[in-house]
Amino acid sequence: MHTLFRTATVAALLGFGLSTATLAQTPKLQVQPNLTLKWLNSLTISPATVPGGTSATGTVTLLRPAVAAMLLDLKLVNAIHTDSGVWLQDGNYVQMVLSIPAGSDRGTFSVFTTAESAPRTLTVEVRYGKEMRSASVSTTRPRTTSP
């Protein structure tokens, strides 16, 4: 943190001569940009691999309990957002916002997958301000039931 002192020279002309004095102002504190309190600790998705057509649970962990309710932005990478408040990618979807209540240090959400024939990897991001964490879940071929 830097402290800057401003000085000013005051000249008084009263018709009788010139008198000068130097005045010091209260220090002005300079705050460095981007010095913000970090909140996001981690994002995990469990299980890391699921059969298509099932869901996995995402968990966002904070570095400390929330002092007030926090709204975190979720995103399914390479997906489109819908009017219903979810990110949608070929039938796979994730909600757009995760609310963490005051006093809690974590929140959970679901990653819903579609029953596809080809395995794929879905990446989810969570953002709070300039912070971002990401995690992935892989899908396998859907389970088949025998007749």
Indicate yes or no: pTM above 0.75: no
Q: Give the chain's mean pLDDT.
A: 82
C-alpha span between 79 and 81 (Å, rounded): 7
Domains of the chain: 40-140 (2.60.40.10)
| Confidence at residue 28, expressed as pLDDT on a 0 to 100 scale | 46
Q: For the CA atoms of 89, 136, 109, 145, what is the dihedral angle to 10 degrees? A: 70
| Confidence at residue 87, expressed as pLDDT on a 0 to 100 scale | 93
For residue 25, is pLDDT > 90? no
Give the CA distances from residue 69 to residues 61, 65, 100, 107, 125, in Å, rounded to whole numbers and listed in that order.
14, 10, 6, 11, 20
For residue 33, is pLDDT > 70? no
pLDDT mean over 23-41: 62
| Confidence at residue 31, expressed as pLDDT on a 0 to 100 scale | 46
C-alpha span between 100 and 96 (Å, rounded): 13
For residue 8, is pLDDT > 60? no
**Residue 108 corresponds to which tokens in the numbers above?**
């959970």
Selected residue with higher pLDDT from 29 and 91: 91
| Confidence at residue 21, expressed as pLDDT on a 0 to 100 scale | 52
90: Cα separation from own chain's centroid: 25
